[in-house]
Amino acid sequence: MKTRSFAVIGLGTFGSTVASELARFGNPVLGIDIEGRNVTRLAETLTEAVIADGKDELALKEAGVSGYDVAIVAIGEDLEANVLCTMNVKMLGVETIWVKALNRTHHRILTKLGADRVILPEQEIGQHIAQMLHNPLVRDYVSLGNGYHVVDFKVPDELDGKMVGKAAVFEKYSVRALGAMRDNQYLSCDEGDLTLRKDDKLLLLGKRADLRHFGDDLRDGN
């Protein structure tokens, strides 16, 4: 996989986490913040860390932002700074721009400005946690768009010893089993002949409502 370079502007809790993780994966990462203490904290973690104002296009240019593949605008509560920074990295010709939004209205503004991905971290994390709290069998999930999700589902007692292709609950809710992890082994469900065991980690594909009803039925012992 080709290594991409990242410029993270705004090194608060969200931005510093993103920047540190990207660096941990071995990517070149430039961190920028107007507060010196935030920059100093990550100076030894990132490829480069610079004190600069995201509202200042010239300062971002001098920091070398235009030479990075992706810019992540992670400026927090300052709406004006967030919007101006997004405009600046767009003007500098950064190919891909991800931006943290404060609310739905802000989300629409950033989309109009040409951001490739607008993130509402608190809302997205809240939805993620609520889904897992609602049904303890759901270990994790990811949205694929168009209403489809892939769910990491813990196999309960009700499916222990059942063959994927013959368990009626899969057909009832139009949910497709993609595969399962048993200990450290991946098991394919392509032929529908996999016999499940309790506590297998089952990857399920389906629409959100079908996956929710599927999980609710099994959680309630139906």
- Nearest-5° Cα angle at 115, 109 to 120: 70
What's the full length of the chain, in residues? 222
Residue 175 · residue 204 · CB < 8 Å: yes
Q: Is residue 96 predicted with pLDDT exceeding 80?
A: yes
Contact between 2 and 70 (Cβ < 8 Å): no
C-alpha 118/C-alpha 61 separation (Å) is: 23
Q: Is the pLDDT of residue 1 over 60?
A: no
Backbone φ and ψ for 45, nearest 5 degrees, come out as: -95, -40
Give the predicted TM-score (pTM) of the model: 0.70
Give the pLDDT band of residue 131 (cuts 50, 70, 90): low
pLDDT for the residue numbered 203: 87
Confidence (pLDDT) at 66? 96
Domains of the chain, start order:
6-119 (3.40.50.720), 124-219 (3.30.70.1450)
**What are the residues whose beta carbons fall under 8 Å from the beta carbon of 16, sequence distance 6 or more?**
8, 31, 38, 41, 42
Query: Letter for the amino acid at 79?
Result: L
- Residue with the bigger pLDDT between 150 and 50: it is 50
189-216 mean pLDDT: 84
